[in-house]
């Protein structure tokens, strides 16, 4: 993370507590999985075992149509926009670097299909009631960039749970199953989970989900066959309890 990213990250994580319930209710656009989304509205596995978090989502592609909302001019939204503008460049570089490794052409801009999500875990049961605040899963995107503010994120390696520990300026980058599909199974998806902490403590995680452009066409890296990555993208997105991502134009 750059110094600027770190600054905006802290504004988003620390500033969440100061956002009033009224703002959370009015700046909420569940049809776009955007803005403030209530506790328990997303799940990793089954809908009656929801992720124990509130969410704030920010999409570059929806930002223009929110301009009339007073909260759009707030420092909080400016921090989200600034963080998104840096991380989307980083994500595009990494995804195109992966394409290059496989001798494939670069992908079209991922920005309009990708989004930022702050997960704020507050109401934790005791670990004896539930082991995971977020059940084991993979995210179903191309890549996920994760920056938590506390321990709890674990990667599944067989039956073992491996804690993810990061330096202050580091992000975890996880592969998702859209990348597995695009790479014709050369890149496996990274299964992960969030443990319930032993003590009741608030935990936040800022995530950037990288999806393919809805105007791109996709060819598998190894078999060189066309892939319907957009159908899979939406199957995954709705599988977490979200509404579909709009596919704005057909692949050429």
Least separation in angstroms between residue 78's CB and Fe ion is: 26
Least separation in angstroms between residue 36's CB and Fe ion is: 19
Q: What are the strands, taking DSSP E only, across the chain?
A: 28-29, 34-37, 53-58, 115-121, 132-137, 143-148, 153-157, 160-163, 172-175, 192-195, 203-210, 218-219, 226-227
Least separation in angstroms between residue 223's CB and Fe ion is: 28
Please give the Cα distance from 83 to 88 (Å, whole number). Answer: 9
Determine phi and psi for 161, rounding to 5 degrees. -110, 115
Burial class for 160, CB neighbours closer than 10 Å (0-12, 13-18, 19+): exposed
The span of 15-23, 33-41, 96-104, 134-142 binding Fe ion (CB under 5 A) equals: 134-142
Total of chain residues touching Fe ion, rule CB under 5 A: 1
Residue nearest to Fe ion (CB): 139
Please give the Cα distance from 212 to 209 (Å, whole number). Answer: 10
Q: Based on CB atoms, which residue is closest to Fe ion, 104 or 190?
A: 190
The span of 60-68, 72-80, 136-144, 229-237 binding Fe ion (CB under 5 A) equals: 136-144
Least separation in angstroms between residue 137's CB and Fe ion is: 6
- Taking the alpha carbons at both ends of the chain, their separation in whole angstroms is 35
The span of 5-13, 28-36, 113-121, 133-141 binding Fe ion (CB under 5 A) equals: 133-141
Q: Tell me if 118 sits within 8 A of 204, measured CB to CB.
A: yes
Determine phi and psi for 133, rounding to 5 degrees. -75, -25
Q: Based on CB atoms, which residue is closest to Fe ion, 34 or 139?
A: 139
Q: Is 42 in the site for Fe ion (CB under 5 A)?
A: no
Q: Based on CB atoms, which residue is closest to Fe ion, 15 or 136?
A: 136
Least separation in angstroms between residue 71's CB and Fe ion is: 26
Task: Single out the residue of 57, 139, 148, 233 in contact with Fe ion (rule: CB under 5 A).
Answer: 139
Q: At what angle do helices 75-101 and 3-15 cross, to 10 degrees?
A: 130
Least separation in angstroms between residue 156's CB and Fe ion is: 11
CA angle 93, 252, 189 (to 5 degrees): 45
Q: Based on CB atoms, which residue is closest to Fe ion, 140 or 212?
A: 140
Determine phi and psi for 4, rounding to 5 degrees. -65, -40
Q: Based on CB atoms, which residue is closest to Fe ion, 54 or 139?
A: 139
Q: Which residues bind Fe ion (CB under 5 A)?
A: 139
């Amino acid at each position: 993370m750059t110094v600027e990213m770190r600054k905006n990250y802290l504004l988003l994580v620390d500033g969440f507590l100061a956002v009033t319930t009224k703002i959370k209710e009015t700046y909420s656009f569940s049809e776009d999985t955007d803005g403030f989304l209530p506790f328990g509205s997303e799940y990793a596995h089954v809908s009656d075992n929801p992720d124990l978090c509130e969410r704030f989502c920010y999409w570059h592609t929806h930002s223009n149509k929110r301009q009339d909302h007073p909260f759009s001019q707030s420092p909080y939204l400016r921090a989200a926009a600034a963080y998104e503008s840096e991380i989307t460049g980083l994500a595009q570089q990494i995804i195109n670097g992966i394409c290059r490794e496989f001798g494939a052409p670069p992908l079209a801009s991922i920005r309009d299909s990708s989004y930022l999500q702050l997960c704020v875990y507050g109401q934790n049961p005791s670990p004896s009631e539930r082991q995971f605040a977020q059940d084991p899963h993979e995210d179903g995107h191309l890549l996920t960039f994760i920056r938590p503010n506390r321990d709890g994120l674990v990667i599944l390696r067989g039956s073992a749970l491996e804690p993810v520990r990061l330096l202050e300026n580091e992000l975890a980058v996880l592969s998702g199953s859209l990348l597995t599909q695009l790479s014709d199974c050369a890149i496996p998806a990274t299964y992960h989970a969030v443990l319930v902490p032993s003590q009741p403590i608030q935990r936040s995680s800022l995530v950037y989900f990288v999806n393919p452009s809805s105007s791109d066409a996709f060819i598998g890296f190894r078999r060189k066959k066309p892939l319907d990555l957009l159908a899979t993208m939406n199957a995954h997105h709705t599988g977490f309890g979200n509404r579909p991502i709009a596919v704005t134009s057909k692949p050429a």
